[in-house]
A and B are shown apart, each in its own frame.
Chain A
């Protein structure tokens, strides 16, 4: 069905007019991410082995929305209890993640809902507590807030409130595209992970790539009995392409991954900024021969893998946390203070945070508000030279 034009493509691809300033032609650091060569993605099928991915599996090159689609198809085939729904999900969703699923699995299991996020979340919770595996889509993370009551007061507290009855909202997954794309302004750019990470009872997951997304999403649906908020960096839907195993596989939640080993400094990040970190690290390692930076992908933002982070910082003695959403009361604050509590005597420099400034994502200013390669590069140098 290549004739189907892509929906909301301009939300996932840069338009020609750059609202927040064109990249400078002289730039050496703030270049557009080259997703074709970034070491973060598996550009060959053989590079999938020696990882958490299933050994000897066949694989296919997929972008992020295709990998999500593949995970949803796998889940719908694996269990009759799986249902997939949300606004405009029937025709494939505005980002094409549910493409063809209604045709394949029928409109009882894959369907449009009316336009009501609180309804979608409450409906999903009800279905989960009666034994289904609902995968609810919120069209944009920016529009999850009408559902906040259901997620925070209901999904997160269900098991605790029910206590001895044993009833819980496990099996529930709420997916939502998040993050900036260059022109989304106030309401198509947000990354509200820290708001959910503040709530015990929720698992908050953000994959960095197509193969990670499939394994983490299947894990959220089948391997855990806790409600999961699953956030998909929408800029990666089309941009990030890599080999993804065809079959069912899972990647454990609440387990971080060291995606590049190093000895001199640890960068902790998740989602799209990992690509910026990777570029900044290459630039620093080229400019300062001998320097070796470790890069950790948190993957699950809460409950998070504290041990992997602490072990790394105990080894390197320096740490930077990078995320897109606002620095104030963000994930960086939690990670930095945990490092400070657990590895204080090993620290050679203060833990730095590179994150969005404490403001909203104004259309014309996005480039200056969110972390870029230059800011990460600068933070690495400052931390190394402290």
Chain B
């Protein structure tokens, strides 16, 4: 009762009274200047020194941000003085198999689309090192938001071939209930949010999710603190949402790691027409965010950077970190695209030959004596068989029930939707020859 009165008063009276509701702040501008100081504490730039030399900062004069690497393209550790990557052989073999599995699946599904058995597909060729290497540094309790070229993240987080195929064929086992285009995977735990096509929308969401985790983990100190990992392309980083996300994550000290996959292209648009300045990494610095650029073809560099980023994200009460992982999109953008209309075939061939995360890791494994030509062949054959088996089963599986056209829009189907479902059912019954309901689970009864 009294609260209501207070807010009523607040509404009527001068703004001064709001101070009673919102506690007064000490504004930084109230800090007085020391006589003879060589800098001024402007509220917007507290450590800026005075200078009599007028000089504009030239982006082109600044040295390019370096690219972190652990292993060279022949699979050898570059700096022999540092310890070897802190991972067991077993772990590295798991990464390798996960990268390989995604790549085997990509080849099969791309071809399947060409045969008309699938409407659409996107491969992640050349980016398996980024996705698997970074996801390997996460705990199952960490939360992931991805863009669409991150099959390796799903694979590393336990998404099975059956999960992949159920989504790709939009069948009754698809957690997305047959609603999304192929490659829009999603899983509840380890939480990896369902892919959304509108670019960059997930980036500010990741900041908010990280804030939620931070508050919850503060409220429950017994649990291990969690982070959010957020993936996106360098093209998506041109959206306003990217900039909003970095800024809000920085100001709210959110434990989120932003991972930009910079693969040189956004469909046909090369990075030169996408941005100026030193890549996406330079943006992080501008927002006051700890930033690193890594060689995306080097799974160890990606993994180490992600481990450290995760540690930083959870230090000092939380903060965002930006990783720019460099690669080259060796594939077409998607099955709907023919990239030779905008880039030379030799450019792609050169890149394929020059460097590739899978081949590089394979060389490493062979140098360590823990992988052989024979194992490679055997593993690939097994994987191909496994993919084809799940493919065949998923393709035969029924589509979900027709009711799922209407469910989940709201928590409960609305009265208006119920009438529409009844009207649809009447149409299907009146014109049975016009519709083939056999592929749908429960047929026409799905609308009951």
Quick check: is B47 within 8 A (CB to CB) of the other chain? no
A residues 1-46 near B (Cβ < 8 Å) are 4-11, 15-17, 19, 21-30
Q: A91-B342, A115-B274, A375-B427 are in contact. Are A21 and B440 (CB under 8 A)?
A: yes
Q: Interface on chain B toward A: helix, strand, loop, or mixed SS?
A: loop
Quick check: is B337 within 8 A (CB to CB) of the other chain? yes
Verify A90–B116 contact, CB threshold 8 A.
no
Verify B336–A7 contact, CB threshold 8 A.
yes
Name the distance in Å between B265's Cβ and chain A's nearest Cβ. Answer: 10
Quick check: is B405 within 8 A (CB to CB) of the other chain? yes
Name the distance in Å between B345's Cβ and chain A's nearest Cβ. Answer: 12
Q: In the complex, A364 Cα to B177 Cα: how many Å?
A: 9
Q: Which of B21-29, B102-110, B428-436 contacts A (4 or more CB under 8 A)?
A: B428-436
Q: In the complex, A119 Cα to B267 Cα: how many Å?
A: 18
Verify B427–A374 contact, CB threshold 8 A.
yes
Quick check: is A248 within 8 A (CB to CB) of the other chain? no
Interface bin, chain A: 35 or more
Q: Which of B149-157, B245-253, B358-366, B412-420 contacts A (4 or more CB under 8 A)?
A: B412-420
Verify A88–B268 contact, CB threshold 8 A.
yes
B425-448 toward A: CB 8 Å interface, digit per residue (1/0)? Answer: 001001101111101100000000
A residues 190-247 near B (Cβ < 8 Å) are none
Verify B181–A27 contact, CB threshold 8 A.
no
Q: In the complex, A334 Cα to B290 Cα: how many Å?
A: 53
Q: In the complex, A90 Cα to B273 Cα: how many Å?
A: 10
Quick check: is B388 within 8 A (CB to CB) of the other chain? no
A116-152 toward B: CB 8 Å interface, digit per residue (1/0)? Answer: 1111000000000000000000000011011000000
Verify A378–B431 contact, CB threshold 8 A.
yes
Quick check: is A324 within 8 A (CB to CB) of the other chain? no
Q: In the complex, A17 Cα to B118 Cα: how many Å?
A: 6
Select one of B116, B170, B241, B267 contacting A94, CB under 8 A.
B267
Verify A10–B119 contact, CB threshold 8 A.
yes
Verify B179–A363 contact, CB threshold 8 A.
yes
Residues in B whose Cβ lies below 8 Å from that of A364: 170, 178-179, 399-400, 404-405, 440
Verify A143–B198 contact, CB threshold 8 A.
yes
Select one of B118, B274, B341, B417 contacting A4, CB under 8 A.
B341
Residues in B whose Cβ lies below 8 Å from that of A25: 436
Residues in B whose Cβ lies below 8 Å from that of A79: none
Verify A142–B198 contact, CB threshold 8 A.
yes
Residue total for B at the interface (Cβ-Cβ under 8 A): 60
Residues in A whose Cβ lies below 8 Å from that of B384: none
Verify A114–B116 contact, CB threshold 8 A.
no
Residues in A whose Cβ lies below 8 Å from that of B420: 327, 357-358
B89-117 toward A: CB 8 Å interface, digit per residue (1/0)? Answer: 00000000000000000000000010111
Verify A365–B405 contact, CB threshold 8 A.
yes
Quick check: is A259 within 8 A (CB to CB) of the other chain? no
Verify B238–A88 contact, CB threshold 8 A.
no
Select one of B181, B199, B267, B400 contacting A183, CB under 8 A.
B181
Quick check: is A87 within 8 A (CB to CB) of the other chain? yes
Name the distance in Å between A105's Cβ and chain B's nearest Cβ. Answer: 17
Name the distance in Å between A124's Cβ and chain B's nearest Cβ. Answer: 16
Quick check: is B236 within 8 A (CB to CB) of the other chain? yes
Verify B336–A28 contact, CB threshold 8 A.
no
A residues 353-386 near B (Cβ < 8 Å) are 357-360, 362-365, 367-369, 372-375, 378
Q: A7-B341, A365-B402 are in contact. Are A185 and B236 (CB under 8 A)?
A: no
Quick check: is B320 within 8 A (CB to CB) of the other chain? no
Verify B405–A115 contact, CB threshold 8 A.
no
B residues 368-413 near A (Cβ < 8 Å) are 399-400, 402, 404-406, 409
Q: A24-B434, A30-B435, A369-B405 are in contact. Are A362 and B179 (CB under 8 A)?
A: yes
Residues in B whose Cβ lies below 8 Å from that of A170: none
Q: In the complex, A184 Cα to B334 Cα: how many Å?
A: 14
Q: A26-B433, A88-B269, A183-B181 are in contact. Are A116 and B116 (CB under 8 A)?
A: no
Verify B416–A328 contact, CB threshold 8 A.
yes
Name the distance in Å between B402's Cβ and chain A's nearest Cβ. Answer: 6
B217-252 toward A: CB 8 Å interface, digit per residue (1/0)? Answer: 000000000000000000110111100000000000
Name the distance in Å between B275's Cβ and chain A's nearest Cβ. Answer: 6
- The residue in chain B whose Cβ has the minimal distance to the Cβ of A6 is B338
- The residue in chain A whose Cβ has the minimal distance to the Cβ of B115 is A16
The 6 closest A-B pairs by CB, nearest first: A16-B116, A365-B405, A187-B197, A364-B178, A362-B179, A114-B238
Q: Which residues of B contact A (CB under 8 A)?
A: 113, 115-120, 170, 177-181, 184, 196-199, 235-236, 238-241, 266-269, 273-275, 335-338, 340-342, 399-400, 402, 404-406, 409, 414, 416-417, 420, 424, 427, 430-431, 433-437, 439-440
Apart from the given pairs A5-B340, A7-B336, A357-B417, 9 other A-B contacts in the complex at a CB distance below 8 Å: A9-B336, A27-B433, A27-B434, A119-B238, A358-B409, A362-B177, A363-B170, A363-B178, A364-B404
Enumerate 15 A-B pairs (CB-CB under 8 Å) in ascending A order. A21-B436, A25-B436, A30-B431, A88-B266, A115-B199, A117-B239, A118-B239, A183-B120, A328-B416, A359-B406, A363-B181, A364-B170, A364-B440, A365-B178, A374-B435
